[in-house]
Amino acid sequence: MNEVIARFEKNSFEEVRISLTEFRGKDLIDIRVYFQPEGEEEMRPTKKGITISPEKFPELKEGILALEKALKEKK
């Protein structure tokens, strides 16, 4: 299984993809930077990113919500 859930542009050469993947029979959440090699159509993954188990998603979500709150307070 490799299902891209979301993607967004990081810059003109890279994008971030959030995917559900599977490795050695275990489900995983992968958040990774992809790049497009010169002269190629298909994007390729880089080493930049994280992979976590779905059980860790609530902690990741808490961190993102805390980040959102901190960003709002800075405005």
pLDDT tens digits, one per residue of 44-74 = 999 999 999 999 999 999 999 999 999 999 9
Full residue range of the structural domain in which residue 63 is found? 2-74
> Is the pLDDT higher at 55 or at 41?
55
Q: What is the pLDDT of residue 47?
A: 97
Q: Give the C-alpha separation, 5 to 56, whole Å.
A: 17
Specify the pairing of strand 14-23 against strand 44-52.
Answer: unpaired
Question: What is the tally of structural domains in the chain?
Answer: 1
DSSP annotation of 13 reads S
For the chain, percent helix, then strand, then coil, each to nearest 5?
A: 30, 50, 25
CATH of the domain at 24: 2.30.31.10
Q: How far apart are CA 68 and CA 25, in angstroms?
A: 34
Give the global pTM: 0.88
Let me know: does 74 contact 55? Beta carbons within 8 Å.
no
pLDDT of residue 59: 98
